[in-house]
Amino acid sequence: MIKHEQQFTIQFRHWIRANRSQFESCAFELKVANPGAMDRLPFSAVKEHQLNALEAAGSEDGFLYKIADMGYDQKPFDMFFLRNAYDFIVVKYKTFFVLILRQDFVDESKRSKARSLSAEKAKEIAWRIVHIGKVNKTL
């Protein structure tokens, strides 16, 4: 699954760059649905600490993060602070991906009788739906 998420991260970065004028400051947690499990994402795939960090980034108090000094690449800067940012769970399904506001994802996980988010339900609660064919044109 990690390899799929890494591939999707690259694809999503290209899409954001091509559509950056449509966004303010945002925080994203990217996930890839399991195509072998009928294209569903377990709600548990988004960990509590990830939801907490997204919530902080979207709050008035904000989220401060120190970028690790490890690695061989030059890092852009040492820290960043997000406040009142849009906070999204981004889920890639077979033929599309969705941007779901964190609170909508949390609300759905609480009210759903299912333990995972289907592609159909993701489309219903999505802030934006992006079909993969359209993404490939922007790469």
Residue 74 lies in a domain: no
The predicted structure's pLDDT at residue 59? 98
Q: With contact defined as beta carbons under 8 Å apart, do 33 and 40 qualify?
A: yes
Residue 80 lies in a domain: no
pLDDT in tens, 46-82: 999 999 999 999 999 999 999 988 877 788 899 999 9
Task: Locate the DSSP E strands across 75-126.
Answer: 79-82, 86-92, 96-101, 116-118
Residue 8 lies in a domain: yes
Residue 122 lies in a domain: yes
> In this structure, how many other beta carbons lie within 10 angstroms of the beta carbon of residue 10?
10
Q: Distance between CA 117 and CA 33 in Å, rounded?
A: 9
Residue 69 lies in a domain: no
Residue 124 lies in a domain: yes
pTM of the model: 0.88
The boundaries of the domain holding residue 115 are 2-47+85-138
- State how many domains the chain has: 1
Residue 121 lies in a domain: yes
pLDDT in tens, 103-131: 999 999 999 999 999 999 999 999 999 99
Q: How far apart are the first and last CA of the chain?
A: 22
Q: Distance between CA 97 and CA 32 in Å, rounded?
A: 9
Residue 18 lies in a domain: yes
